Amino acid sequence: DAKTTQPPSMDCAEGRAANLPCNHSTISGNEYVYWYRQIHSQGPQYIIHGLKNNETNEMASLIITEDRKSSTLILPHATLRDTAVYYCIVRVIATGTASKLTFGTGTRLQVTL
């Protein structure tokens, strides 16, 4: 699976959009981009995933560049409860097999008043 690079930490004011970048310059054509987050001392939570098109769900939006070498997770209106470590992961999806995920150290997002 391709490696990812994320800034170690970011701050965001409550109510503002949080834009979390991820670089995955060695991504291959059949690898998806996943985002998970981990609130302190809890298990990680799935947020969103995508291949090449931009994706949006009730939690966030995922913007993937045209060359797929980087992506941005957008939390449109960050709240204090969004304070967490955010992990960007790229991997191949193979039906019929377990989905091994490789977690890096992620970005620690601190949302402040």
Asked if 87 and 44 count as a contact pair (C-beta separation under 8 A), the reply is: yes
- What contacts 25, CB < 8 A, 6 or more positions away? 69, 70
With b for 16 or more beta-carbon neighbours within 10 A and e for fewer, the 23-33 pattern comes to bbeebeeebbb
Torsion of CA 45, 27, 98, 60, to 10 degrees: 20
Phi, psi dihedral angles at 90 (to 5 degrees): -120, 140
Q: Tokens at residue 4, please?
A: 């990812």
By CB under 8 A, which span of 9-17, 18-26, 42-50, 73-81 interacts with other proteins? 42-50
Tell me which of 10, 32, 74, 110 binds other proteins, using CB under 8 A.
Answer: 32
Does residue 17 touch other proteins according to CB under 8 A? no
Binding of other proteins by 49 (CB under 8 A): yes
Q: Does 99 bind other proteins (CB under 8 A)?
A: yes
Q: Applying CB under 8 A, which of residues 45, 56, 79, 112 lies at the interface with other proteins?
A: 45
Q: Which stretch binds other proteins (CB under 8 A): 9-17, 23-31, 63-71, 98-106?
A: 98-106
Closer residue to other proteins (CB): 14 or 32: 32
By CB under 8 A, name the binding residues for other proteins: 32, 36, 41-46, 49, 87, 93, 95-106
